[in-house]
Structure 1
Amino acid sequence: MKKLLLVAFAFFTLQIAAQTKVGGIVKDEKEEPMPYVSVYFKNTTEGVITNENGKFYLESSNKQDTLVISFTGYDDIFLPLTKAVNLDLKIELKEDNLLSEIKIFTGKTSKKDNPALDILRKIWENRRKNGLHKFNQYTYQKYEKIEFDLNSIDSAYMKNRVFKGMEFIFDKVDTSKITGKTYLPIFINEQASNVYGDNVSKLKKEIVSGNKNSGFENNQHIMAFLKDLYVEYDIYNNYLKLFDKDFVSPLSRTGINVYNYVLTDTADIDGKKCYNIVYYPRRKGELTFKGDFWVNEGTWAIKKINMAISKDANINWVRDIYIEQEFDVLNDSVFLLTKDHLMTDFSIRQNEKSKGMYGKRTTYYKQFEFDKKKPVNFYKSEVNSYNEALMNRPDEFWEGYRFEPLSEEEKGIYTMLGELKQNKRFQTYVNLGTILASDYIQIGNFDYGPIFSSFGFNDIEGFRLRAGGRTYFGQNDMWRLEGYTAYGFKDDKFKYGISGRFMLDKDSRFIFFAGNRRDVEQIAATLSPITDVLGRSFASSALLASGDNSKLSNINLTSAGLEIEPLKNLKFAASVNYKTLKSASPTFSLGYYDEAGNIQTDLNQSEINLSVDYTPRRKTVGFGVDRTDVDYNYARVFFNYSLGVKGMLGSDFDYKKIQLLYRHPILVGGFGRLTPTIEAGKTYGTVPLGLMSVIPGNQSYFIIDNAFSQMNYYEFITDQYIALHLEHNFNGRIFSRIPGIRKLGLREFVGIRGAWGDVSKENIAINASNIPYIAPNEKVYYEYFVGVGNIFKCLRLDVTWRGNYLENPDARKMGVKAVFGFHF
């Protein structure tokens, strides 16, 4: 027994000794912290660079005996490591005595004789000759692990009342190999898949073979959050999208405009000569990284790269982002990505000691095969590929498929989360987060909400209360019922709406839908049709509005139809609608002259609708009748054809209407994102005001998408129109160059909106309403705006100026509108 204990103790000691941890701060002779200093273990590629405050932390799973500290223009330091753990080191660098005899590259390093830039140019020339780009087709196996951890755990944190009754979770506290901070794993998700790609046709498909979750697999909003945070990126691209921000890649062709590059070392890695280049940002406040990379001589392919965002990058609630990628050589010449690790340190405050949460994604790639062509239909099939069996793979599957085994702490997450799910306090926290994310309160299999639509106000209803909800058994429900009721205290009337959606075939997403709504609505608030029978514009009941908001209509709408998605993100829909419209106000009229010359105030209309909705690159979560978008930065083309049939169900008019919407966010070379939206339409036939295309005004004090901020409701009436909205988000690029303002993290918006339209003589002739038909046909109506976003990290304010038609009654020359939202 005694020998056994000695063996165990010796083994434990060797394990401890086989790990080396170092950390500290690097300063110059004037005691000033030195950022971007290279710190690495001698004769290895394991290293980091110091942060903006000169601090560093480095850890190796192997025993290391020498730490090298190196910076251009200073003497290298070779620091012996006598202990396994060497923290709180204080290192002083001294200027090199040979400064007068060598060239030092500091500040701007875009000089022609900078060897680092010579290497960078060779990387650009060969980037499409390396990796998967070298082959026509490719396939590989992929294993992905996503984990969330509470960090900066200390004794005071453990005693917080928030964790009362959950103290057992602190048994799993560990230390980060990257930051040296203590952390507590609270969530883990694993996914195994096979990836197929065709570089010729630029198609890609991922087939999931297994997914394992530690307790939130049925929470659609948490899963959407995970997918939104960790999209794929290619370090060879000019820009890397993280948290909806476009960071300049250190390998970008425009990198020399925003980075400094320094060649610091050469070494043989796996028998091949490699160069080490350190890079760091030239200016503060820009979306850039700092770090280093190793590049292979000859192929000029990246062997290993480390990237950490600048501390003052304009991104909310993120203290750090760290990326590490490793590449292995294939066939003695082609380097392929084999490991991709991304870690984000979330925190409300930027203070290093404040509590926060790590979000980590680690992806491994192996079993590469090339030039095995597959038909195009292979990539476009399986619109709805959900298979419940894949979500319940046994432990044996994961033991064989994990490219890297889980640590003991990670294994314990599954057990710990199982216990936490039974904890009432923990479930309360989860429910609160879900409510904020989804706008619904879950009560059993019923969701109450949307809660932020519970209150409203307009001139007809006065103060309005709304209560509603939907069925919810899980994110993959094959059917869903939804309904609401509302009451206006001024008009003393109840309103209601009810709808249902049923998936008849999950493979093609063949869905039947039907519903009925009786309500008060501002029908002049949108050009493109709202496809949801319960959809109601924000303009109908904004709590705060300017001017007259009495031009509302009573609507009774019944709709039934089918939709199908034969190809991914390409949806066809057909529906039959019947609606009655009449004015909800004694001061507003929808009147028209009938064939006998009599004035009619009520409109009865049946309509057949056919639509096509194409959303390339749209990503969603869930496979049920309703899905959640991962983000909204995808292009959209929407076409709608409406046919009014007189006499059908007592319908009053014959007409045909075509409508088109096109929206496409565009990255503009590191200068932010331009989002153009175009809407166009034409009505063939004679129709009254209730069926016309009204250019949407906005009399609320809040920003409404695709509406004109300085235009009043029913100011412009058309039966053919085209509208253009251009908005550019600079994402703080301009403010980041202004001292004093830079620290506020503000973001700049500019834009212009315009609309042209006309109305036929026939439609003017039947108008018996008290609304004059004025169309912007002589000149294009336009308005322009500037905006400041990220005020207090949640508020955006736009100032809009009206460009023309200032002679119109009650025309507003200038106005300020706001919108609240939480964005990274």
Structure 2
Amino acid sequence: KNELTFKGDFWVNDSTFAVKEINMKATRSANINWVKDIYIEQEYDVLSDSVFLLKKDFMMSNFSFNKKEKAKGVYGKRTTMYKNYAFDAKKTNKFYATEIDIYENKIYDQGDDFWDTNRQEILSENEKGIYKMLDTLKTVPKFKRMYNLVSILGSGYIEFNKFDFGPIFSTFGMNDVEGVRLRVGGRTYFGPNDKWRLQSYLAYGFKDDQFKYGVSGKWMFNRKNRFTIGGGNRRDVEQIAVSLTTTNDVLGRSFASSAVFASGDNSKLTSINLSNAYLSMEPRKNLLFRVGASYRTLKTASPSTFNLDYYIDDTFTTTKSDIVQSELDFSVKYTPHKKTIGNGVERTEVNSEYPTFYLSYSKGLKGVINSDFDYQKVQLYYNQPFQVGGFGRTTTTFEVGKTFGEVPLGLLNVVPGNQSYFTIANTYALLDYYEFVTDSYASLHIEHNFNGRILSRIPLLRKLNLREIVGVKALYGTISDENIALNASNINYIAPDKGYYEYSLGIGNIFKVFRIDFSWRGSYMDTPNANKFAIKGAFGFYF
């Protein structure tokens, strides 16, 4: 029970023993969320004793909130048919090199006569009425409410005519500097194939009595190579020590900056004024090149509790409290096997079983628009999820980076802590903000989800469809003597040069949407105020 197994029939050719037809249905007790039934049919053409070709592929799924017999749901059907296989027809290289634009409207804007002629299987009366049924559903209040709820939870935005309000999950926040923080924002949205998009937000902190804002825009000029120009500006208060691999995303404010529920001191926030402009292009599918320029100023958002001070003279007597920095950056991102829908300036990913390679190079430009520092920064990020047979899925994340040159705290590689009560990817659950500071680092995160393989064997827990998760996070880093000497802030630089690690045990799929993680510290146990154990949770919608 609880395993993803199928029952059904298959037909075999009596002379070649090749499979002719398959029909099978998944067991209802399988540990899959939101799916009540899965039914699959496949038909094959037999060419020889070793070659048989798929002729028809049909799949039907019954989506429902639960698997009770009387539970209502929505059926989804997909039929794919193949014909006219040709293995002996020689084609020129031009034929294979020609790219087909599947988003070209004229491919689909065909009359009924075209579809009646080319469709391999005649539509049933129910299938012919599907468009009328969908139009009718849009007028049913209960269906509209359910659709809107799922859409809001999935995207984080409330849809209006050509404008989306959100993200709603960032509307309310709290931290030690701003106190209660309210945020409103939105984006233009005409459809999934928009060539341009504008986004903006406005926030207000009731404790610091300050308004903050962010605005960005991007325009895709060429749909085939996805040549895009973008830029924006943000003035805000944020926690900058939340990611090892950094980007110049102008609206990329972290969740940790205004988490409602957090442990420990959350006053080490930075006031940032960031402007950027960039060009990006995808010369081949899933290979993205980007070049950009940015200009930023950094200063403490809470002078009484935190500062970014650094020495500016050889005698180490004169300090400066703000950072002014101009920077050029270049990055390459490769995501083989990634699948997306839509072909606009923003696309939606439909799978997660693909690796991610990200390499970035940044150059600080001292003297350009009063910029303070000259440095070079190289960072590599690699993420690889893979299936381990029937024993679940392992996700590995590796990060390595180095900063060349003398820079202050605001430009160093601070190890990302997590003082919220929520599980946040690529952070360390038991580290506080600024607990470790480096200019060279290597980080490894390994997490394995057994997908209920163990707990499904326990009778009392079997029906709960819980999923067990184990993980380990390791880190090594150093800080140069020159950067230590430059530091005049109230943060004492400690680098994990002896190696830091923590490990965790988690239970997922609680009520289908909640996960809880128990984490233990494995090293640096004697660090003052070290967190040795933590419990954190997360929400998410997964099948």
TM range (shorter): over 0.9
**Cross-structure match for 2:364:** 644
Bigger CA drift: 528-537 or 692-701? 528-537
Tell me how far apart the structure 2 counterparts of residues 417 and 744 of structure 1 sit (CA, whole Å).
34
Tell me how far apart the structure 1 counterparts of residues 326 and 91 of structure 2 sit (CA, whole Å).
47
Matches within 5 A, 1:778-797: 779-797=498-516
Aligned 8 A contact 1:382 1:508 in 2: no
815 and 313 in structure 1: CA distance in 2 versus 1, 3 angstrom threshold: same
Aligned 8 A contact 1:383 1:568 in 2: no
- With structure 1 as the length reference, what TM-score do the two structures score? 0.64
Does residue 595 (structure 1) correspond to residue 294 (structure 2)? The answer is no
**Cross-structure match for 2:247:** 530
Tell me how far apart the structure 2 counterparts of residues 343 and 321 of structure 1 sit (CA, whole Å).
6
415 and 347 in structure 1: CA distance in 2 versus 1, 3 angstrom threshold: closer
Tell me how far apart the structure 2 counterparts of residues 753 and 371 of structure 1 sit (CA, whole Å).
53
Structure 2 stretches lacking a partner, 5+ long:
none
617 and 711 in structure 1: CA distance in 2 versus 1, 3 angstrom threshold: same
**Cross-structure match for 2:522:** 803
The offset of 1:480, in angstroms, is 0.7
Does residue 756 (structure 1) correspond to residue 473 (structure 2)? The answer is no
Q: Decide which of 152, 162, 168 is 1:445's aligned counterpart.
A: 162
Aligned 8 A contact 2:18 2:50 in 1: no
The offset of 1:554, in angstroms, is 0.3
**Cross-structure match for 2:534:** 815
567 and 333 in structure 1: CA distance in 2 versus 1, 3 angstrom threshold: closer
- What is the RMSD of the two structures over their aligned residues, measured on CA atoms? 1.9
Aligned 8 A contact 2:62 2:76 in 1: yes
Aligned 8 A contact 1:591 1:769 in 2: yes
Tell me how far apart the structure 1 counterparts of residues 370 and 489 of structure 2 sit (CA, whole Å).
22
DSSP 3-state at the match of 1:409:
helix
Tell me how far apart the structure 2 counterparts of residues 551 and 687 of structure 1 sit (CA, whole Å).
19
Residue-by-residue CA offset, 1:522-542 (whole Å, 9 max, x unaligned): 000001113421011111111
Residue-by-residue CA offset, 1:107-126 (whole Å, 9 max, x unaligned): xxxxxxxxxxxxxxxxxxxx
Residue-by-residue CA offset, 1:303-335 (whole Å, 9 max, x unaligned): 122221122111112221111111122267632
Tell me how far apart the structure 1 counterparts of residues 535 and 97 of structure 2 sit (CA, whole Å).
46
Matches within 5 A, 1:21-420: 284-297=1-14, 299-330=16-47, 334-370=51-87, 382=99, 385-420=102-137
Tell me how far apart the structure 1 counterparts of residues 323 and 386 of structure 2 sit (CA, whole Å).
42
The offset of 1:561, in angstroms, is 0.9
Matched letter for residue 409 of structure 2? L
Does residue 554 (structure 1) correspond to residue 265 (structure 2)? The answer is no
Tell me how far apart the structure 1 counterparts of residues 346 and 207 of structure 2 sit (CA, whole Å).
35
Bigger CA drift: 425-434 or 311-320? 425-434
292 and 488 in structure 1: CA distance in 2 versus 1, 3 angstrom threshold: same
DSSP 3-state at the match of 2:410:
helix
Aligned 8 A contact 1:383 1:507 in 2: no
**Cross-structure match for 1:745:** 465
The offset of 1:400, in angstroms, is 1.5
Tell me how far apart the structure 2 counterparts of residues 600 and 335 of structure 1 sit (CA, whole Å).
74
786 and 423 in structure 1: CA distance in 2 versus 1, 3 angstrom threshold: closer
Point out 4+ residue stretches in structure 1 off by more than 6 angstroms. Answer: 373-381, 422-425
Q: Decide which of 382, 389, 395 is 1:675's aligned counterpart.
A: 395
Does residue 771 (structure 1) correspond to residue 491 (structure 2)? The answer is yes
Tell me how far apart the structure 2 counterparts of residues 710 and 376 of structure 1 sit (CA, whole Å).
57
Aligned 8 A contact 2:16 2:48 in 1: no
DSSP 3-state at the match of 1:740:
helix
**Cross-structure match for 2:410:** 690
The offset of 1:476, in angstroms, is 0.8
Bigger CA drift: 612-621 or 416-425? 416-425
Tell me how far apart the structure 2 counterparts of residues 336 and 600 of structure 1 sit (CA, whole Å).
72
399 and 498 in structure 1: CA distance in 2 versus 1, 3 angstrom threshold: same
Aligned 8 A contact 1:382 1:568 in 2: no
Aligned 8 A contact 1:476 1:625 in 2: yes
The offset of 1:398, in angstroms, is 1.1
The offset of 1:420, in angstroms, is 4.8
The offset of 1:716, in angstroms, is 0.4
Q: Decide which of 428, 433, 442 is 1:722's aligned counterpart.
A: 442
399 and 679 in structure 1: CA distance in 2 versus 1, 3 angstrom threshold: same
DSSP 3-state at the match of 1:535:
coil
The offset of 1:417, in angstroms, is 3.1
DSSP 3-state at the match of 2:129:
helix
The offset of 1:369, in angstroms, is 1.3
**Cross-structure match for 1:613:** 333
DSSP 3-state at the match of 2:398:
strand
Tell me how far apart the structure 2 counterparts of residues 375 and 659 of structure 1 sit (CA, whole Å).
43
Matches within 5 A, 1:564-583: 564-583=281-300
Bigger CA drift: 363-372 or 595-604? 363-372
Residue-by-residue CA offset, 1:386-433 (whole Å, 9 max, x unaligned): 212223222122112211111112112223434555677765554443
717 and 479 in structure 1: CA distance in 2 versus 1, 3 angstrom threshold: same
Tell me how far apart the structure 2 counterparts of residues 716 and 417 of structure 1 sit (CA, whole Å).
55
Tell me how far apart the structure 2 counterparts of residues 564 and 440 of structure 1 sit (CA, whole Å).
27
Bigger CA drift: 564-573 or 345-354? 345-354
Does residue 505 (structure 1) correspond to residue 226 (structure 2)? The answer is no
Structure 1 stretches lacking a partner, 5+ long:
1-283
Aligned 8 A contact 2:18 2:49 in 1: no
The offset of 1:815, in angstroms, is 0.6
Tell me how far apart the structure 1 counterparts of residues 391 and 221 of structure 2 sit (CA, whole Å).
46
**Cross-structure match for 1:542:** 259
* Max Rg structure: 1
Aligned 8 A contact 1:348 1:356 in 2: yes
Bigger CA drift: 426-435 or 501-510? 426-435
Identity %: 59
**Cross-structure match for 1:706:** 426
- With structure 2 as the length reference, what TM-score do the two structures score? 0.96
298 and 590 in structure 1: CA distance in 2 versus 1, 3 angstrom threshold: farther
DSSP 3-state at the match of 1:533:
coil
The offset of 1:349, in angstroms, is 2.5
**Cross-structure match for 1:110:** none
**Cross-structure match for 1:64:** none
DSSP 3-state at the match of 1:690:
helix
Residue-by-residue CA offset, 1:696-723 (whole Å, 9 max, x unaligned): 0101100000000001100000000000
DSSP 3-state at the match of 1:367:
coil
Aligned 8 A contact 2:468 2:508 in 1: yes
